[in-house]
C-alpha cells in the first residue's frame, strides 16, 4: 500500500503532467527525491506516467531505471512514453525485453507504429496480437486500428477489422462504433456506415455527429439535416458540423441560416464555426454579413485567433475589400503560413500583384518558408505583372530550392 505522502505527491504529479508544465514536474521530482527515501514503486510509476504525459520520454526512462523491482505497470508506462513520442526503436526494444505483456502493452506498440509512419509494422503487430490468446484486443485496440484505416483510406483493412470487432462483440459499443462509422464514410462506403449506426443499441452525441459528418462528406445534405432534426440534444460540434458541411457543399445561405439559429439558441461558438461562417460569406460575396460576423468575433474575443484572423483576411479578399483584409492582417499578433498565404492570394485576386510580391518578400524576411500553394500564387502574380525578369528569377529560385535568394531578385 502506498503511504499517504506518496498519495499526496501522486496527486501533485498529475497536476504537472502536461507539456507546458515540464519545469514544475522536474522541480516536484527533485522534492520527492529529497524528502522520500526510499521512493515506493507506486510513486515511481506515477512519475513515469507524468513524464510520459509531459512529452519527456527520456526522463520517463531514467525514472524507470531507478526502480529496484519494476512491475508490468512500470514497463507499460515507459512503453507508452516511447509510443506517444514516436521513439519507435526504443519502443520495440522495451517491448521485446518485457517478461510479460498485456493488452495495454500491445496497444502501445500498435499505436506507436500506426501514429508514427510505420504502417506495415502496425498491421504486423496487430495481427500478432490477435494470435496472442492471453492478450485479447479491446475497444482501444479496435479504435486505434479503425482510425489508422481511415487515415490510409483502406476499405479492405477496415472491413477486416470490422469482422474482428463483430467476433469479439464490440460492434455495438459507442467507443468502437463511432470510429467504425467514420471509417466507412471516409472511404465512401456510406451504406455500411449507416448499417453500423442503425445497429448500435445506444447512440451518443459523438456517434450522431460522426454520422452527420459522413453524410455531409458524401453530399447527402437532406439526410444530414433530417438526422440533425432527430437529435434529442445537440452541442456546438453538431451545429458547427452542419455549418461547415453546408458551406463545403456550396449551400452558403443555408449555412448562414444554421449559424443564426445556433446563435439564437445560445450555443457556444468556437474558431471552427467562425472559420466556416466566414468561408460562407466569402463564397457569397456577402460583405455586410461578413462584417457582422467580424463584429461578433471581436465581441467574443476571437479576433486574436490565428485561424479566425486568416479566415477574415480570406473573406474580405473575396468580397473585394482588400484594404479591410490588409487591416486585419496587420493587426494579427501572430501569423502562420496560412495567414501570409491568405494575404498574398488576396492581393492577387484583387489585382494587386506588386503588393503580392512585396508581401512574399516580407514573409521571407519573417522566416516563414512558403509551401507549394504559396509559390503558385507568387507565380500568378509574376504573370500578372508581365515581368519576365522577376518571373525568370523566381523560376530559378524554385528550381534550385534557394528561396532566400528570391528576396534579392525582386527587391
For the residues 178-189, what does the mean pLDDT come to? Answer: 93
Instruction: Tell me the per-residue pLDDT of 252-268, one tens digit each, with 9 for 90 and over.
Output: 999 999 999 999 999 99
Cα distances from 243 to residues 209, 249, 269, 289, in angstroms, run 12, 10, 11, 15
Residue 166 above 90 pLDDT? yes
> Percentage of the chain surpassing pLDDT 90?
77
Confidence (pLDDT) at 373: 81
Residue 287 above 90 pLDDT? yes
Residue 379 above 50 pLDDT? yes
Confidence (pLDDT) at 321: 97
How confident is the prediction for the chain on average, in pLDDT?
90
For the residues 27-44, what does the mean pLDDT come to? Answer: 92
Confidence (pLDDT) at 336: 94
Instruction: Tell me the per-residue pLDDT of 319-335, one tens digit each, with 9 for 90 and over.
Output: 999 999 999 999 999 99
**Residue 332 in contact with residue 295, Cβ under 8 Å?**
no
For the residues 102-128, what does the mean pLDDT come to? Answer: 95
Cα distances from 16 to residues 30, 49, 57, 114, 402, in angstroms, run 13, 11, 15, 28, 43
Rounded CA separation 184/360 (Å): 41
For the residues 88-111, what does the mean pLDDT come to? Answer: 96
Rounded CA separation 22/63 (Å): 15
* pTM of the predicted protein model: 0.80
Nearest to 106 by CA among 83, 87, 74, 86: 83
Confidence (pLDDT) at 408: 34
Domain range list for the chain:
234-334, 338-411
Residue 407 above 50 pLDDT? no
CB-based contacts of 380-386 (< 8 A; 24+ apart in sequence): 380/348, 381/344, 381/347, 381/348, 381/353, 381/356, 381/357, 382/353, 382/357, 384/348, 384/351, 384/353, 385/353, 385/354, 385/357
pLDDT band at 134 (very low <50, low <70, confident <90, very high): confident
Non-local (6+) Cβ contacts of 7 within 8 A are none
The residue count of the chain comes to 411
Q: From the CA atom positions of the chain, what is the Rg in Å?
A: 26
The label of the residue with cell 519494476 reads 70
Amino acid at each position: 500500500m502506498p503511504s499517504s505522502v506518496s498519495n499526496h505527491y501522486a496527486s501533485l504529479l498529475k497536476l504537472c503532467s502536461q507539456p507546458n508544465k515540464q519545469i514544475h514536474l522536474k522541480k516536484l521530482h527533485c522534492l520527492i527525491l529529497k524528502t522520500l527515501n526510499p521512493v515506493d514503486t507506486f510513486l515511481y510509476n506515477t512519475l513515469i506516467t507524468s513524464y510520459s504525459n509531459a512529452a519527456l520520454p527520456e526522463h520517463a526512462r531514467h525514472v524507470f531505471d531507478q526502480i529496484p523491482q519494476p512491475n508490468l505497470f512500470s514497463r507499460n508506462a515507459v512503453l507508452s512514453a516511447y509510443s506517444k513520442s514516436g521513439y519507435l526503436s526504443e519502443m520495440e526494444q522495451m517491448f521485446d525485453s518485457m517478461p510479460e505483456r498485456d493488452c495495454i502493452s500491445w496497444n502501445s506498440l500498435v499505436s506507436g507504429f500506426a501514429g508514427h509512419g510505420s504502417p506495415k509494422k502496425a498491421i504486423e503487430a496487430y495481427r500478432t496480437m490477435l494470435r496472442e490468446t492471453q492478450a485479447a484486443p479491446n475497444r482501444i485496440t479496435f479504435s486505434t486500428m479503425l482510425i489508422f484505416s481511415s487515415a490510409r483510406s483502406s476499405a479492405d483493412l477496415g472491413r477486416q477489422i470490422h469482422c474482428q470487432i463483430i467476433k469479439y462483440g464490440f460492434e455495438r459499443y459507442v467507443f468502437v462504433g463511432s470510429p467504425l462509422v467514420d471509417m466507412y464514410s471516409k472511404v465512401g462506403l456510406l451504406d455500411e456506415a449507416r448499417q453500423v449506426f442503425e445497429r448500435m443499441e445506444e447512440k451518443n452525441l459523438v456517434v450522431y455527429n460522426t454520422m452527420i459528418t459522413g453524410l455531409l462528406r458524401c453530399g447527402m445534405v437532406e439526410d444530414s439535416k433530417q438526422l440533425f432534426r432527430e437529435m434529442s440534444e445537440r452541442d456546438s460540434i453538431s451545429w458547427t458540423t452542419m455549418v461547415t458541411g453546408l458551406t463545403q457543399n456550396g449551400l452558403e445561405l443555408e449555412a448562414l441560416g444554421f449559424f443564426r439559429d445556433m446563435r439564437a439558441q445560445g450555443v457556444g461558438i468556437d474558431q471552427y464555426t467562425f472559420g466556416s461562417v466566414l468561408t460562407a460569406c466569402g463564397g457569397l460575396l456577402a460583405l455586410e454579413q461578413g462584417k457582422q460576423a467580424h463584429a461578433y468575433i471581436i465581441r467574443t474575443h476571437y479576433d486574436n485567433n490565428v485561424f479566425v484572423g486568416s479566415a477574415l483576411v480570406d473573406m474580405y479578399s473575396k468580397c473585394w475589400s482588400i484594404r479591410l483584409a490588409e487591416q486585419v492582417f496587420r493587426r494579427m499578433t501572430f501569423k502562420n503560413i496560412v495567414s501570409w498565404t491568405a494575404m498574398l492570394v488576396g492581393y492577387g485576386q484583387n489585382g494587386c500583384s506588386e503588393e503580392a510580391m512585396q508581401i512574399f518578400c516580407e514573409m521571407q524576411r519573417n522566416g516563414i518558408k512558403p509551401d507549394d500553394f504559396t509559390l503558385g500564387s507568387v507565380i500568378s502574380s509574376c504573370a500578372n505583372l508581365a515581368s519576365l525578369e522577376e518571373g525568370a528569377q523566381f523560376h530559378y529560385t524554385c528550381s534550385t530550392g534557394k528561396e532566400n535568394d528570391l528576396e534579392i531578385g525582386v527587391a
